[in-house]
Amino acid sequence: MQLGARGAGGPAIKTKGTENHVAGEGQNSMTSTEIDIFEFSQRGEEVPHAPAYRVRIDGEVFRIDTPTPKGELLLGKVGKRPCAFELIEEFVHGKNDVVEQEEEVDLRKRGLKGFITAHKEIVTIFINGDPYKIERGNRTVAEILGKVNETPEGYVLLEEKGGQPPMPLPPDRPVKIHGCEVFHTQPQSGGSS
């Protein structure tokens, strides 16, 4: 379809910025290309259906192919994971809402201008494959082992990072927790002889 023109006998077409909106009756008209939700929010207009949406996350613009993406998908666009970061909807009038990772966001919501991310204070770490909540920052090995009811006297804490296999951590040094860390435990079995 030729955009930005009026076809003979066809529907009225108007072009606004980057989006091309087929002006139809009601709110279920479909644009022929991706539309920028930020621009619609600034104009206070209803966001129409479209094959794709341009969405700002932390100031970067991404193409989203569904009007109802999950929070985790949007976080992933900026290389972040829900075990360490939260996604926050930003509206034109200053209202902000946290979006849970499994929550579906309606990109057509009036006034939604985009998203920002924030580092969580209580993050998720993984120990022996299971998720556990813990405060971000320096934590002791004992605190981490305590999540699985183990102690440094009985168990070694191993950390898996950078795609490398689990390596033992010194029990007397703090472990910097950012979120999403992967730990394993192994019974203590060695000592100087």
Partner 1 sequence: MEYVKQQIEELKGYCSKVSALTEGNDTYLHLEKLRLPDGCEPRECDALLRPFGGSDGYPSRLYFSVQIRSSYTRNWNISNARICEKNWFAFSWMVNRPLPTLAQILVAHLTGFTKEK
Q: Which residues bind partner 1 (CB under 8 A)?
A: 156, 158, 164-172, 186-193
Q: In the bound complex, what is the minimum distance in angstroms from residue 183's beta carbon to partner 1?
A: 13
Q: Computed over its alpha carbons, how large is the radius of gyration of the chain? A: 24
Question: Of 64 and 175, which has the nearer Cβ to partner 1?
Answer: 175
Question: Of 30 and 167, which has the nearer Cβ to partner 1?
Answer: 167
Give the 3-state secondary structure of 135-172: ECEEECHHHHHHCCCCCCCCEEEEEECCCCCCEECCCC
Q: In the bound complex, what is the minimum distance in angstroms from residue 162's beta carbon to partner 1?
A: 10
Give bridge partners of residue 82 from the DSSP assignment.
none
Q: In the bound complex, what is the minimum distance in angstroms from residue 169's beta carbon to partner 1?
A: 6
Q: In the bound complex, what is the minimum distance in angstroms from residue 172's beta carbon to partner 1?
A: 7
CA distance 63 to 53: 6
Question: Of 26 and 129, which has the nearer Cβ to partner 1?
Answer: 129
> Which among 166, 148, 147 is positioned nearest to 158, based on CA atoms?
166
Question: Of 117 and 185, which has the nearer Cβ to partner 1?
Answer: 185
